[in-house]
Amino acid sequence: MNPNYQTQPDSLKGRVILVTGAGSGLGREAAIAYARHGATVALLGRNETKLDAIYDEILAIDGPEPAMFPFDLEAADDSGFERLAGTISYHLKRLDGILHSAASFFSLTPLNQQTLAQWNSMLKVNLAAPFALTRACLPMLEASPDASVIFTGETHGHKPAAYWGGYAVSKSGLEALTTIFGQELERLPNIRINTLIPGPVNSPLRRKTHPGEDPGSLPQPDDLLPWYLWLMGPDSRDVRGKTIECTL
């Protein structure tokens, strides 16, 4: 992306975009930004109260009325993802993009202190659910004239490091998944799937991993929104199967 990139105010007009993890962090900020640029946003998260708050905020900025889908990614099975895709299709009639921003994280600990239950949670929410939800939604994405799917990667998934354990492993898998999807969907020029690595940013997750850090010393979510808008919008139409690190 050109560092001076600026998207058009209506660059996402008429599109329907599903955002997982929309209740907080970068998912929340991206959902609002997508609505501000004309998209109808499908808000997915476990906390309905948080989704209600974002729903009201989008209406307050005169964005298209969003849809809310309270949903537990960790508890879902194949049939649950298929039903969710069917509900989205029934109510919104189309789907032009997915931002996978939901995440499961516990703490920075040595591998010998991490449990199988923690790994199962992180692998399910961070890797298996993005795959399963994307697969379930593929018919709608295939019908879109210009569909974009964004997986949210992580610096320590891209370059693994001690103590990041199951979280790093689950995030590293997204990069392989992106490459495989990219190759398998080469025949469909209207669908692109990429992984975006935000890097250090003032977010709820960052405050868990670096509790003593000054949030003011970090990039703020707004600083990264051009990347999220570019990769979801038409200007990145030819970017496919890539892992991209946000730079400022």
Provide the pLDDT for residue 199.
Answer: 82
| Residue 151 covered by a domain | yes
| Residue 162 covered by a domain | yes
Expressed as residue numbers, the domain containing 175 is 16-245
User: In which residue ranges of the chain is pLDDT below 50?
Assistant: none
* Number of separate domains in the chain: 1
Which sequence positions are flagged as catalytic? 167
Reduce the secondary structure of the chain to three states and give it as a string: CCCCCCCCCCCCCCCEEEEECCCCHHHHHHHHHHHHCCCEEEEEECCHHHHHHHHHHHHHCCCCCCEEEECCCCCCCHHHHHHHHHHHHHHHCCCCEEEECCCCCCCCCCHHHCCHHHHHHHHHHHHHHHHHHHHHHHHHHHHCCCEEEEEECCHHHHCCCCCCHHHHHHHHHHHHHHHHHHHHCCCCCCEEEEEEECCCCCCHHHHHHCCCCCHHHCCCHHHHHHHHHHHHCHHHCCCCCCEEECCC
CATH number for the domain spanning 106: value is: 3.40.50.720
Provide the pLDDT for residue 55.
Answer: 97
| Residue 11 covered by a domain | no
Provide the pLDDT for residue 191.
Answer: 97
Average pLDDT, the chain: 94
| Residue 10 covered by a domain | no
| Residue 8 covered by a domain | no
Provide the pLDDT for residue 231.
Answer: 96
Q: Considering the entire predicted model, what is its pTM?
A: 0.94
| Residue 7 covered by a domain | no
Provide the pLDDT for residue 172.
Answer: 96
| Residue 114 covered by a domain | yes
